[in-house]
């Protein structure tokens, strides 16, 4: 599977759940490629914008869609990496925001080993 195939598979599934991909298709495909790389590297699709440890239990919170996606999209209009956006961002009524990291520092430090 390549990035475009992953996008085509996930887009309708996520839309049915009320989540939308960023309208910047090039950015989305780059992130999808990163997810696929992490799937090959770790065996699961860890967020390509965060440091993963390679240990599923430590990374569970950042397996895409991560546990921070819904609160980020609700509060800011996008998730941390910008893959998922609100309807307003998708439709151009709101600019893509900068989203602060919600993942606790301890989890990132644990990924460093």
Q: For residue 47, what pLDDT is reported?
A: 97
CB 110 within 8 A of CB 52: no
Closest to 83 in 3D by CA, of 8, 5, 22, 14: 22
DSSP state of 103: S
Contact between 78 and 89 (Cβ < 8 Å): yes
Domains and CATH numbers, the chain: 25-107 (3.90.460.10)
Query: How far is Cα 84 from Cα 57, in angstroms, rounded to an integer?
Result: 23
Rounded-to-integer distance, Cα 31 and Cα 57, Å: 22
pLDDT tens digit sequence for 21-65: 999 999 999 999 999 999 999 999 999 999 999 999 999 999 999
């Amino acid at each position: 599977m390549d990035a475009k195939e992953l996008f085509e598979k996930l887009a309708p599934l996520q839309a049915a759940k009320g989540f939308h991909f960023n309208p910047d298709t090039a950015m989305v495909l780059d992130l999808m490629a990163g997810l696929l790389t992490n799937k090959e590297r770790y065996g699961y699709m860890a967020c390509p914008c965060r440091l993963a440890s390679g240990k599923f239990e430590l990374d569970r919170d950042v397996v895409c869609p991560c546990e921070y996606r819904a609160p980020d999209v609700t509060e800011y209009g996008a998730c941390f990496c910008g893959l998922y956006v609100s309807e307003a961002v998708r439709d151009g009524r709101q600019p893509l925001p900068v989203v602060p990291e919600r993942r606790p520092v301890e989890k990132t430090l644990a990924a460093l080993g």
